[in-house]
Amino acid sequence: MRKTLFLFFLIWVRICPLWAQVITTDPSLPTAGQNLTITFDLKKASDGRALNLLGKKDDVFLWSGAGTTDSGPAFEYQPSGQNDFSKPFEPGKMTYLGNDLWSITINPRKYFNVPDSKPIRKLGLLLKSGDGKAQTEDLFLTLLEENKLYVSFSKPVTKSLYIDGNSSILFEGNTSQTAKLKFDFLWTDKKTGILSRKTIGIPDSAKVFSQNITVFRELGQIAEGTQITVRITAVNRLNETAYDEIMLTVKPTNQILTVPEGLKDGINYISDSKVILVLFAPLKEFIYVIGDFNDWKTDSGFLMNKTPDGKRFWIEISNLIKGQEYAYQYLIDGNITVGDPYAEKILDPDNDKYIPETTYPNLKKLPANVKSIASILQTGQTAYSWKVNNFVRPKQDNLIVYELLVRDFVADQRYKTVTDTLPYLKKLGINCIELMPVMEFTGNDSWGYNPVFYFAPDKAYGTKNDLKQFIDKCHENGIAVVLDMVLNQADYEFPYVKMYWDGSKPSADSPFFNQTAPHPFSVFFDFNHESQATKDYVQRVNDFWLKEYRFDGFRFDLAKGFTQKTSSDDGFFRLYDQSRINIWKNYYDKIRATDASAYVILELFSEDKEEQVLTDYGMMVWGNLNGDYRSTAKGYNGDFSRMSYKSRGFRNPNLIGYMESHDEERLMFDALKNGQTTQNYDARNLTNALEKMKSNAVFFLGVPGPKMIWQFGELGYDVSIDENGRTGRKPLRWEYTKDPQRAKLYKVFAALNNLKLSQPAFNTTDFELSLSGFQKQIILNHASMKVSIVGNFDLEDRSFSNVFPSAGKWYDYFTGTEIPVDNTGIRFIFKPGEFHILTTQPLAKPESDLVPWKAPQALVTGIEEEKEQQIKVFPNPVSDYLNISFPEKTAGNLELSILDLTGKLYLESSIKIDKQGESLKLDIKKLPLGNYLLNVATDHSHGVIKFNKQ
């Protein structure tokens, strides 16, 4: 979420418990007008972003606000100067106490500058690093009215506690004033239905209390599942009364029953009125289902059965109304409440309220007393009616993938609107869209790499049918859709993280997660992919998206992290790992068993010999050359050689190369900010930078094999990846489509994509590359034709030799010029950024003027000797003046240049011939002695003529 939304509205009842005991205060019953010491235990913070605060001894700051009402915002007042989350806020500098404990002492009224006439009812708090890149979750603290009686339990630390029938429980707490105290225990006898009560008084007045109660001895035998209200009442000398309550529940005993045959984990729809819920939860004692169907109460009729092996819990729920949505949660061992990890829709009380009605109409709301994420079940749903049932996927060796983040692609961040843009993408010529993660992630504003529910598309982008309609429409247009899958890590709200949690990280007994990631690249909580529980869950996730949504495959984030090998840096992390190979082969086999042609793309970046094994097996891997393409965009040298799968030793073209992805700095931004500037060329000039993008595109898409384009790269998107924070929302630039220069870049991309998909030569396996220097060349050999792609990446003119692999007729693609070649060894001059795609077969010429040059005369190796019509030079040898005569029919524009036999340019000029048969006299007195080539092009003839200066 945006930083402006990190404190939410809450309704407080009596005294709110300190936030999951991340916070403790001194005094324990705080008021606004007194000095207050607040202590934070970062080990108990639940937000994954807090992990980067652990171990710090400095650079931790309080970010906070104060609210004057129970239900209003907690940031109504802020300390003076607190306005930039990305910078340290010195008044909020925390004091390190050791062991990840931090404290600060403030006077709330003075610190937040709240007038004396205003009450302070609550504080909103979080800790962050100085740069704002690491932070805790949002925390809240209730402040009490001054000079008023309050009483509060400090132990037990939770307001709801499950106990054994013979438990001994220590109750501790204090009051704001000296008062007489008494305990009341109230429960309803399950057999008789009679309300029972037991009172235990404390004889003397006090401000603190401590009482140890043994339930069986003090209260008698109480049935399993009975709820006991424990109330502490305080009465002061003015006979004012205050109280606090804790709920105790006597632990139930599960019925042991095997799951009915044929059922799977998650929701099993049995009929329009019946479901069976199954939850994999080894090591848990008992689980209740609470939800709309039982008024969110721990009803004994909704205690789940437990399987004989203790690994699963299940329950049948009947009498449901067809088509009605029911929200529910699992209450596990009485202290953990989670949604269903297999739910296909969830409700989030903190974030759903920010989703517009136009994005997700008629979104169900949770009851006010449900404070955490709940699942949805719904019988009798109408299945989506697919229009395309026979989609033929593009061959994976010639994919042109377009990576797209819904949030930053269209203004209203809706699947529906992205669907409306498909004509733009189809015209661009891509044949595959890769959606960045769309399964439910923390908050509504994210890249999506913090998943929390793997079967539920995030509602921030629309309904599930909106997503299906988008995929359906893509298939209708011949475009495959790949889902970016995040199964290396999950965020805290993922049920299987919360269910096995030790206060600061996954617990040691988690069937799914490592307590600490074995590698240094995990951001949230790291899956153990050698665990069978993880393997089973991954298979279910993959199968679901392939079948239910008809995705055409997956791109797997941080595929290198699918290992238990311990490493502290990438140098070791990337080395050949047989366990990782085995894991990926197993997942690939399972995916292909479900869908025989599904794409499997790995963000692996391991050493070549490991990627060779996996690409030989059929998987594709990402190939990042962002650094080299950024270098050339800035006017420096860049080596594109590893854009070729052959350069990595791959047998198959299973390398998806890219210049940009979501993870890298944008080429245009870097070029415009950091490009070279010389006397003759400015790489920071917008026109020049766009021409550099064209030459990069030619030597990107011109290399055989699948490729990926990051959204808006085809328009020269020039906003830094770090604007508004690396993963923060970025401005749209759809107006670039109306900019003539940027539109030409788009059309160059489209023309190249068309060549790649329509001409077999551009997908050949027989090619030669020279991509390491400023003068780059690609030669494609195919039975249909030969192709030579040549380009100058220097900031100065460069001479080229061997531009043509063979003699004969060649064609310049972007100008449509036919070029007869009889001498393949002549050198030619290329301007900075100039490139040419030359083919031995004529192709349909793209739109005119997409590049700023025509087929230059230097690309022509000779002319036909037409009697009385040839261009002539005399005298030859020559000393002072060179005369050039033209055929009688010549009139119009003349382009000429003089260069030596090494390719060094001495003269370049454009002249207009007004009369037919006109001649030209050139002063060459300053030309050094030697042999030269005169390159001449008129409207009717072209030629390269050798002469000698003596």
Over residues 382-393, the pLDDT tens digits come to 999 999 999 999
- Give CA–CA dist 872/849, Å, rounded: 32
Whole-angstrom distance, CA of residue 362 vs CA of residue 100? 44
- pLDDT value at 143 more than 70: yes
Tell me the C-alpha to C-alpha distance, in Å, between residue 843 and each of 291, 480, 769, 784, 790. 65, 27, 22, 12, 17
**Mean pLDDT, residues 845-861:** 75
CATH T-level topology, domain 266-379: Immunoglobulin-like (2.60.40)
Residue 688: pLDDT above 70?
Answer: yes
What DSSP character marks residue 17?
A: P
Count CB atoms within 10 A of the CB of residue 218.
14
The pLDDT score that the predictor gives to residue 127 is: 96
Strands (E), 901-941: 905-913, 919-923, 930-937
* Alpha carbons 70 and 144: distance in angstroms, whole number: 11
At 788 the pLDDT is: 97
Q: What angle do CA 420, 423, 428 make, to 5 degrees?
A: 135
Mean pLDDT on 302-321? 97
Region of poorest pLDDT, from 12-26, 683-697, 706-720: 12-26
Supply the pLDDT for residue 298.
87
Residue 353 has what DSSP assignment? Answer: G
User: 18 pLDDT exceeds 50?
Assistant: no
State residue 898 phi and psi, 5-degree precision.
-125, 130
Cis peptide before 361 (omega within 30 of 0): no
pLDDT exceeds 90 at position 699:
yes
Contact between residue 7 and residue 74 where contact means Cβ atoms under 8 Å apart? yes
For residue 624, CA distances in Å to 86, 92, 735, 944 come to: 29, 41, 28, 42
More confident residue, 24 or 466: 466
pLDDT for position 216: 80
Q: Between 73 and 479, where is the model more confident? A: 479
Tell the residue number behind the tokens 């003269």, with chain if given: 907
- pLDDT at site 215: 81
Using CA atoms, how far apart are residues 465 and 899, in angstroms rounded to an integer?
65
What is the reported pLDDT for 111?
96
What fold, for 872-949? Answer: Immunoglobulin-like (2.60.40)
Q: What topology does CATH give the domain 400-621?
A: TIM Barrel (3.20.20)
User: Which of 207-216, 467-476, 540-549 has the weakest average pLDDT?
Assistant: 207-216
CB-side neighbour CA atoms (13 Å) of 901: 8
More confident residue, 539 or 45: 539
pLDDT bracket for residue 619 (50, 70, 90): very high
Has residue 349 got a pLDDT over 70?
A: yes
Report the C-alpha gap between 456 and 442 in whole angstroms.
12
Q: Are 865 and 824 in contact (CB under 8 A)?
A: no
| 857 confidence band (pLDDT: 50, 70, 90) | low
Q: Which long-range contacts (CB under 8 A, 24 or more apart) does 567-573 make?
A: 567/518, 567/519, 567/520, 568/520, 569/520, 570/520, 570/521, 573/519, 573/520, 573/521
The pLDDT score that the predictor gives to residue 276 is 98
Chain center to CA of 195:
55
Tokens of 682: 């400015």
Percent of the chain with pLDDT over 70: 94
In this prediction, residue 915 carries a pLDDT of 61
Pair of tokens at residue 399: 């994919």
Mean pLDDT over 447-452 rounds to: 96
How many CB atoms sit inside 10 A of residue 880's CB? 12
- Asked if the domains at 23-142 and 151-250 fall in one CATH topology, the answer is yes
Please, are residues 273 and 379 in contact by the beta-carbon 8 Å criterion?
yes
Residue 284 has pLDDT above 50, yes or no: yes
What pLDDT does 315 receive? 98
Q: Tell me, rounded to whole angstroms, the distance of Cα 594 from its chain centroid.
A: 26
Rounded Cα–Cα distance for residues 592 and 596 (Å):
4
CATH number of 23-142: 2.60.40
Model confidence at 939, in pLDDT bands (50, 70, 90)? low
Cα Rg of the chain (Å, integer): 36
Give the CATH class of 151-250: mainly beta
Domain boundaries, the chain: 23-142, 151-250, 266-379, 400-621, 625-839, 872-949
Question: What confidence category does residue 49 fall into, taking pLDDT thresholds of 50, 70 and 90?
Answer: confident
Do 780 and 758 form a contact (C-beta atoms < 8 A)? no
Question: Is the model's pLDDT at 221 over the cut of 90?
Answer: no
Q: So what's the pLDDT on residue 914?
A: 67
pLDDT tens readout for residues 252-279: 988 999 999 999 999 999 999 999 999 9
Looking at residue 149, its pLDDT comes to 92
Question: Helix H segments across 719-847?
Answer: 740-758
Please check the confidence at residue 859 and state whether its pLDDT lies above 50.
no
Q: Tell me the two tokens of residue 731.
A: 């401005």
- The CATH fold assigned to 625-839 is Immunoglobulin-like (2.60.40)
CB count within 10 Å of CB 287 equals 27
Q: How many CB atoms lie within 10 A of CB 695?
A: 21
Mean pLDDT, residues 692-703 taken together: 98
Q: Are 860 and 945 in contact (CB under 8 A)?
A: no
Q: Give mean pLDDT, residues 39-62.
A: 89
Mean pLDDT of 494-503: 94
Residue scoring higher pLDDT (245 or 866): 245
- Going edge to edge, which strands form the sheet with 122-129? 60-67, 122-129, 139-142
Q: Is the pLDDT of residue 894 over 70?
A: yes
Please name which of 173, 162, 198 lies closest in space to residue 183, comparing C-alpha atoms.
198
pLDDT, greater one: 220 or 585? 585
pLDDT of 940 reads 55
CA distances 235 to 31, 109, 284, 322, Å, are: 20, 29, 41, 53
Task: Summarize the confidence of residues 200-226 as an average pLDDT.
Answer: 85
Between 484 and 49, residue with greater pLDDT: 484
Give the range among 215-224, 302-311, 663-672 with minimum mean pLDDT.
215-224
Q: Quote the mean pLDDT of the chain.
A: 90
